[in-house]
Structure 1
Amino acid sequence: MRVAVLGPGAIGSLFGGRLARSGVDVTLVGRPGDHVTALDRDGLRLTLPDGTTERVAVDVTTDPAGVGPVDVVLVCVKAYDTRSALADATSLLADAAVCTFQNGLGNPETIAEFVPESRVLAGTTSHGATLESPGHVRHAGVGDTAVGNYFTDTSETATALARALTDAGIDTDVVADAPRAVWEKVLVNVGINAATALAGVPNGRLADTDPGERVLRRAVEEAAAVAAADGVELTTDPVAAASRVARRTAENHSSMRQDLDRGRKTEIDALNGEIVSRGREHGIDTPVNETLTDLVRLAES
């Protein structure tokens, strides 16, 4: 299997680095910047959950046209960059399956504007990763990972990708209902990301403090009501699932917190903001998510 990772941020670098370490032919495709420069010059410095650090040689480029044919493209860019990133990387998409490993709702639908629905995969993960400095990623917490076809029945490519990730140390299940898996991941992110970003705390504080637990629970309960109105049948208690992820990644700084700390745009519109929008369509009040969304937007400004 030949893989391209579009967007080598924290998760993209973690997955790409682990795949490369296991012998998969993988290329990280990113925009020019200090992180890509460091990866190209020194390889990926990866700090593992046990505190040990290893150096992984990775193939990295800023030119998608120079990569050549691939079997799978892992999309790890921010949700608001999905369309522009794919438009810039059409040379990678000719025969490839395209798998989103992104936060939020709507990414598979955007990918389907570029490739047939039969080649659209969706992946979810609760592994925690933090970009500590250019070229250095900390694997901050281990969690569940799943992949599946988003619009069609499970393909051989989805099964092969899950096997490759598992062999690389990212235990991955194949799921038949990828839309539900995406929603379940969104419910986790809705409970964790905005609250930790605004409070400036690691994920674990939402599970081991009363205020954190209340904010997480109320945000997730609102979002679960919207998911039900959207026709999603959840298989797990979404509040318990979000709390479990917060504990597993207790020392991790959520991606949204990292974005606010670095003065970057966040994915709030694809997460809590999308819950608010869909809640309005269904006549469901979402005051906690609306407040979290407004506060993150205010912090961004």
Structure 2
Amino acid sequence: MKIVIVGGGTIGRLFGSSLARGNAEVTIVDVDSQVVSAIQEHGIGLMTGGLDDPDMVTSIPVTAITDTSLITECDLILLMVKSFSTHQATQSVAHLINESCPILSVQTGLGNIEAMAQIVSRKHILAGFTFMTGAALGNSKVRRGSAGKTYIGELDGQISERVKEIAGVFQASDMPTQVVRRIVGRLWCKVIVFSAINPLSALLKVRNGYLLDQMESISLMKRLLDEGKAVADALGIDLVYTDLYQLLFDACMRSARDLSSMLQDILDDRMTEVDAQNGALCKFAADCGVPVPTHQSMVELVKLLEQWRPGMENL
């Protein structure tokens, strides 16, 4: 299968390395010419979580480009950019998307499907998310974290042949994958859970597991969960998982030694996805009249952190 991955960050590199080792023909597209050059020259440098030496990596060759017009055909597009880049990234590959080449969003945020549907037909869009974790290192390297499951599905809930085929390719590439009917409800569950984990880990500058060590952080996360669930209930979202608290604790434990994506963004001086997570919940809450003061505080605090960053320069 010819697969184009739009976004050469952590998840893009993890998926790209696994799919390439599973004999898929992988092309990674990224706007960062330095990342693209490094991948072209060295391949994706995969480092497993148990290794401490950044030079102990397995080099996996893939194609990498910045110009999507160079691609004339493919079988699947994986959208793995930050949510604020979804519209532009979808436009860049719109000429490839059709009945035989769907685009699969593998992102943790709300509003991405709607942004994609402004450019391409919804019938060509698939939704998904992953609990795989890792960390992008310098140039083209990536460290694999926890090997979580990936979920994919059709927006209308059908179990189609194309999603089964994609899941088969993922499974053959050593990526545990499940095709599900209620993918949108499951995505909301993940967003609500990680809207509790991500901003707190970024603000406190701790690994995910530490959030379970103090009652104050547990209390804050539970408050964020309750507010997020209230928004989903008001909108009639089928959340699938009945126990979000257990989902939260499982996510923290599974990724206990990992840095959240939001903390990695802060440490690397990048924009976070707080607008697509806590911010999106705030927007939906305003539309349906549900108070979410804790989420609003998280948005404001993370945005301040984006401006000031870690360090002493503001003292």
State the alpha-carbon separation in 2 of the partners of residues 239 and 37 from structure 1.
43
SS in 2 for 1:86: helix
Task: Show the counterpart of 1:86.
Answer: 90
The answer (yes or no) to whether the contact 2:33–2:66 under 8 Å persists in 1 is no
Paired residues in the alignment total: 301
CA deviations on 1:228-285 (whole Å, 9 max, x unpaired) are 1111122321121122111111111111111111221111111001111211222211
SS in 2 for 1:133: coil
Higher mean displacement: 191-200 or 232-241: 232-241
Task: Show the counterpart of 2:141.
Answer: 136
1:242 aligns with one of 240, 245, 248? 248
State the alpha-carbon separation in 1 of the partners of residues 72 and 59 from structure 2.
26
The answer (yes or no) to whether the contact 1:203–1:252 under 8 Å persists in 2 is yes
State the alpha-carbon separation in 1 of the partners of residues 34 and 249 from structure 2.
34
Letter in 2 for 1:149: E
Q: Is the aligned partner of 1:268 residue 2:305?
A: no
Mark the CA change 1:35 to 1:185 in structure 2 (over 3 Å): closer, same or farther. same
State the alpha-carbon separation in 1 of the partners of residues 156 and 138 from structure 2.
37
Task: Show the counterpart of 1:43.
Answer: 43
CA RMSD for the aligned pairs?
1.5
Task: Show the counterpart of 2:11.
Answer: 11
Task: Show the counterpart of 1:124.
Answer: 129
Task: Show the counterpart of 2:103.
Answer: 98
Task: Show the counterpart of 1:69.
Answer: 73
CA deviations on 1:92-111 (whole Å, 9 max, x unpaired) are 32452011011210111111
The answer (yes or no) to whether the contact 1:149–1:158 under 8 Å persists in 2 is yes
TM-score, normalised on structure 1?
0.95
Letter in 2 for 1:278: F
Letter in 2 for 1:125: T
SS in 2 for 1:124: strand
State the alpha-carbon separation in 2 of the partners of residues 195 and 163 from structure 1.
36
State the alpha-carbon separation in 1 of the partners of residues 136 and 82 from structure 2.
14
State the alpha-carbon separation in 2 of the partners of residues 15 and 251 from structure 1.
20
Matches within 5 A, 1:91-240: 91-94=95-98, 95-151=100-156, 153-236=158-241, 237-240=243-246
Dislocated runs of 4+, deviation >4 Å: none
Task: Show the counterpart of 1:25.
Answer: 25
Shift of 1:88: 2.2
State the alpha-carbon separation in 2 of the partners of residues 111 and 159 from structure 1.
22
Shift of 1:152: 5.5
Higher mean displacement: 226-235 or 195-204: 226-235
State the alpha-carbon separation in 1 of the partners of residues 104 and 59 from structure 2.
26
TM-score, normalised on structure 2?
0.91
Unaligned segments of structure 1, at least 5 residues: none
State the alpha-carbon separation in 1 of the partners of residues 229 and 49 from structure 2.
31
Task: Show the counterpart of 1:58.
Answer: 62
2:302 aligns with one of 293, 296, 300? 296
